[in-house]
């Protein structure tokens, strides 16, 4: 039976939890996740975790944060002047906001602290610094076409 190798496009159902057991994402009730293995479409630990699986296989993979979204980076926590916020926006701790870097790129930040003159924003990925666990079920493998060179 065919095993997952780099370059295959696969379909996998997943259930992702943090080390405390909290569910952060799941494909339950949705179509399976489809991606090309080894293309960088998913985090490295997930990419490596599916290698060698066969259709119908189920397994649990534990991904250390360095193979997931990396460590929390202190330089990604910034103080932003309250005067720069729209007047009708009242930031609250835990609020997710979308910011623009001035070059047209948008990114999400989380309000982590309110001070008198500034709002402290965290631009780290929400899962940065977290070890992740995924329960996987491989439901499909589509291998790239192979050119036969024998005549």
Domain segments of the chain as ranges: 9-70+127-142, 74-122
Max Cα–Cα distance, the chain, nearest Å = 77
**Which residues touch 39 (CB under 8 Å, ≥6 apart)?**
none
Q: Do domains 9-70+127-142 and 74-122 have the same CATH topology?
A: no
Q: Characterize 56-83 residue by residue with b for buried, 16 or more Cβ atoms within 10 angstroms of its Cβ, and e for exposed.
A: ebeeebebebebbbeeeeeeebeebeee
Q: What is the pLDDT of residue 16?
A: 97
pLDDT-based confidence at residue 145 (cuts at 50, 70, 90): low
CATH class assigned to 74-122: mainly beta
Report the pLDDT averaged over residues 120-138.
96
- 64-116 per-position pLDDT tens digit: 999 999 999 999 999 999 999 898 999 999 999 998 877 888 889 999 999 99
Q: Which architecture, in CATH terms, is 9-70+127-142?
A: Roll (3.10)
Looking at the DSSP bridge assignments, the partners of residue 106 are 100
Confidence of residue 151 (pLDDT cuts 50, 70, 90): low
């Amino acid at each position: 039976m065919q095993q997952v190798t780099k370059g295959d496009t696969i379909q996998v159902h997943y259930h992702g939890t943090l080390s405390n057991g909290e569910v952060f994402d799941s494909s339950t009730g949705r179509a399976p996740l489809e991606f090309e293995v080894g293309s960088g479409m998913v985090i490295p630990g997930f990419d490596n975790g599916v290698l060698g699986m066969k259709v119908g296989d189920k397994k649990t993979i534990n991904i250390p944060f360095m193979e997931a979204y990396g460590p929390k980076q202190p330089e990604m926590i910034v103080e932003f002047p309250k005067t720069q916020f729209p007047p009708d926006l009242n930031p609250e701790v835990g609020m997710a906001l979308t910011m623009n870097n001035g070059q047209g790129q948008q990114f999400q930040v989380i309000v982590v602290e309110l001070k008198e003159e500034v709002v402290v924003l965290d631009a780290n990925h929400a899962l940065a610094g977290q070890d992740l666990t995924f329960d996987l079920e491989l439901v499909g493998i589509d291998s790239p076409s192979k050119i036969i060179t024998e005549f």
